Amino acid sequence: MRIISGKLKGKKINFIKVTSTRPLKDSVKENIFNVLLHSNRIEVTLDNAKVLDLYCGFGSFGLECLSRGAKQVTFVEKDKKTFQILRQNINRLKLQNISNPINLDIKNALEMKKGEKYNIIFIDPPYKDLNFFDYLNFLKNNNFFEDKHLVVIHRESKKKEDFKSVLNIVLERYYGRSKILFGYLN
């Protein structure tokens, strides 16, 4: 894994193979950022954005955001081994001042961050995890988002899930086994 673009372009992101984490492939990540930067359906920019990276794993998405000009990223990862590698990545890339890594389950992390508002919320749960719907509702009901915001969700392409009650989806993209949803909390 590596940083694709921005001030940290080409820098490696450390990771280990563990069953608790499914790293975001560089090709999928690159396509997500192409949509973020070039789609006329997306009203949010990365410049000075506050980003919430849920189920962040080793930090690939959030670190890419910081490399491309995001103001601050809150990383949430509950697995202790994975979190240690995330911290190493943040420290090695010298991003401590603009990173907020949290080693808690998502429910407790969101309780702790009540009152915060984000421009971009990235959610990359394990494919079998359906708790993320509860977290989407929690984010919506507790106003975790700026007026102009974007939610990006990484799911398995074959999954059929109904987001209508919580998310206004403006784009869906498929990359092999991955489905990426771009939308706004409604």
For residue 127, what pLDDT band results from cuts at 50, 70 and 90?
confident
Q: What percent of the chain has pLDDT over 90?
A: 79
For residue 129, what pLDDT band results from cuts at 50, 70 and 90?
confident
Q: Which of 142, 140, 35, 52 is nearest to 99 (CA)?
A: 52
Residue 20 pLDDT more than 60? no
- Specify the pLDDT at position 131: 87
Structure confidence by residue, pLDDT tens digits, 45-94 = 999 999 999 999 999 999 999 999 999 999 999 999 999 999 999 999 99
Rounded CA separation 64/17 (Å)? 20
Rounded CA separation 51/91 (Å)? 18
Q: Name residue 122's beta-bridge partners.
A: 53, 152
Which helix (H) or strand (E) segment holds residue 71: the answer is none
> CA torsion sign, 104 to 122 to 15 to 98?
negative
Architecture of the domain defined by 26-185? 3-Layer(aba) Sandwich (3.40)
For residue 160, what pLDDT band results from cuts at 50, 70 and 90?
confident
Counting Cα atoms < 13 Å in the Cβ hemisphere of 75 gives 29
Counting Cα atoms < 13 Å in the Cβ hemisphere of 102 gives 19
- Specify the pLDDT at position 47: 94
For residue 36, what pLDDT band results from cuts at 50, 70 and 90?
very high
Tokens of 57: 């794993």
Q: What percent of the chain has pLDDT over 70?
A: 97
- Specify the pLDDT at position 22: 58
Q: Which of 137, 108, 105 is nearest to 121 (CA)?
A: 137
The residue ranges of every structural domain in the chain are 26-185
